[in-house]
Structure 1
C-alpha cells in the first residue's frame, strides 16, 4: 500500500517547520515540502525531506503539482507553518476534501484591517485603529487615534515593519516607507494600505488557542520602543485570576468572531487596566519557540496536535504529568553593532546554568550583528525549564547574561554586517 502524504506548503525558516515534518514521519505519513525555493530551508536537505519545486504564489501551478502528487499517492493532509501560506494550505485542503480551517476566514484574519473590523463589530476589545492608504491619511488617522501610535503593515509577521511613532513627522516617515513597498519580504504583493493604531502600554501576553479552547497564556517580553522585537516568553504567565480569565476568554471570543475554531491560533493581547485588548490573531501556531515551551512546561505537543488535526486524527490537549511545570526562553539581541566571538565558550557557559535545556547562537564566530529591528535581528536563544515560571525565567536570564551575551564584543572595522535571516 502506498504511504499517504502530508503536503507542507512552504515553511517558516526557524522553529516549527522542521518539527512538522518530523511529527508527520512519527505518524507514518510522508511529509512533502512544496516550495518555490527549497534551499531557503536548510533543514529540508539536512533531513532528506522530499521536496517539489513549484511557484507557490501561482494557484494553478500549485494545484497542478498537488494533483500530480495525489495521482501517485493518497494525500492525507495539507498544512503550512508559514504565516504567509496558511490561507493557501487551507484552500488546498478544502479542494481536496481534507480537514482544515475555513480558507476565507484565514484570508480575512491575515488582513489585520479586516480582522480589526470583524473583532470590533463582534464587541471584542481592540485598540483604537484606522486604516490609511497614503501618508496624509496616516497622519489624519494618528491625530484621530491620539497620542503615540503604532504604524504597521496590514499583513506580515515577526514584528516586521511595526513601529511606534510619537509625532506626525515619524508617522509620515514610516508610513511613506511602508506604502512604497509593492511586495513583502517573501516577494508577495502587498495590499497598499497600512494600520494606524492606539499604543497600549500594558503588559503583553499571548494565548495559545486550539480549536476553541485556550490552552495556555504566555507572558511576553519585548524590546524597547520604537520597535517591538520579542525578546522572551514565559509559560505559563503568572497573573491574578481575573486578568487570566479576561485574557483567555477574550482570545477565545476573538477566534470565534473570526470564524476560525480549527487547529491552532496564536492570539496576542495587551492588558489595558483589567481589559484584555486583542492586538492581533494569527491563524497558525505561535513562533518564537512558544510551542516548544508549551511542550516542556505542560507536556502538550502543539505541533503534533496540528499535524494530527490535519490528518483527521484525534487531538489530546490534556498534557502529561511528567512535564516540568514552567519554561522560559530569552533571545539574545545586540545593543550596538557587535562581533560574535568565542561562540563555543558562550554556549557552554549558558548550558552550564542549572535548568537550561537548550541554547543556540545562530551565526558563527566573526559575524557582525546589529541592533534588532524585528525577529531577524535576534542572535541566539536559551530555553530553561523549572517547576515554576520564576525559576525558569531566572535560569534563562542568567544563561543569557552570563552565557550567550559574553559572545558579543564591540565591532571592529572591516567585518561585514551579517545578512538578514530570510523570512
Structure 2
C-alpha cells in the first residue's frame, strides 16, 4: 500500500488496553509506519497511540452510572463519528466495550470505513437478537473462543477465532512446587485455594459459604491447608473480617498473588468469571460457585440461553467441572465436590489432560492472529 495506514481504535477499560497494545505491536509488523488514534489506555499511549479522550471516561459499570454519564458518552461518540468520517482511517477497530463501540462501528461501516470488533459480547448467552445489529455494524468479528466463532458463522457474520491472550501468556507446564516455595507452603501439603471473587458483593455472598465449605473439607481431611488470596486491599479487609468466625481453619490470607495461590493448590473453589479460565489454564481442578441478588438471578435465568455459566464448561461443551448456582451453592455440597478430586485421582488426571487440550486450542498467538485478520481485511479493501 502506498498511502500511510491510519488505524482508529477505541478501548474502554484496562483489559481492552492490554488487548489494544498487543494488537498495535502486531499490526506494526504489517504496517511499520502506521498511525493509531481514537481512545486508548496507558499501555497503548506508551506505544505512540493518540487518544482524544482519557480511557477512563468510557469505563462505567452497572445500571445507574452509565445513565448519569450518558450525555458525556454520547458527546464523545459523536466526536469520534465526525472525526473518523471526515478523516477516514484505513480501518477502525473497536476493542470490547460493545455498548459504545458497536453503534460507532455501524456508523463508520455505513461510511464505507472497514469496521472490526475485537472480543465478542456474550450474545451467544443472552440477548441473542443483538447478532443482527452486529451483522449490520461490523465487517469482521474477532473472537477469543472457538464456540463464539461457530455462533457467528451460523448467523452469517464474518468472523475469525484468534485465540485468547491469557492462553498465550500462561505456560503449558505449571510449576506448582515453585509457587508453593514462593508462598511458603510445604511441598507435600494438601492445599485448597478459596477464591470468592474480586467484588464486594461477590465476597459478601460467597465468602462465608466458602469458609464453611473449608471447614467441612477439614472434617474429612484434617491435614488440609487453605489459601485465600484477596484481589485488593478492600477485599483483604473484608475477608479478614469474615475470618474472625473461622479461627479454627488453617488458612493463609494473602494480598494479591492469586495466580500463585491457584498454582500452589491441589483444588480450587472459585467464583465464576475470568478467574475460572485462569484456573483452567493453570490446570487446577476446580469447583465453581455463582451467586447474585435474587432479583438479578430471576432476570438472568429468563434471558440466558446457555446450559452452563463457567468458561471451562462452555469451552468443553459439557459439565467438565461442577457448577453450583444460587441456592445450590451450599457449603456441604461444595466441600463434597472438592473432596471428590482428592478421592478420585484418576478422574482428576483426566481432567487436567482435558484442560491441556483446551489450553492448546486457545493458544493461537492472539495478537498476531488478530493483526493478520485485520491486514487481510485491509488488503481485500
TM range (shorter): 0.3 to 0.5
Q: Report the structure number with the largest CA radius of gyration.
A: 2
* TM-score normalized by the length of structure 2: 0.34
Higher relative contact order (CA 8 A, sep 6+): 2
Higher helix share: 2
Please state which structure has a larger fraction of its residues in strand.
Answer: 1
What TM-score comes out, normalization by structure 1 length?
0.31
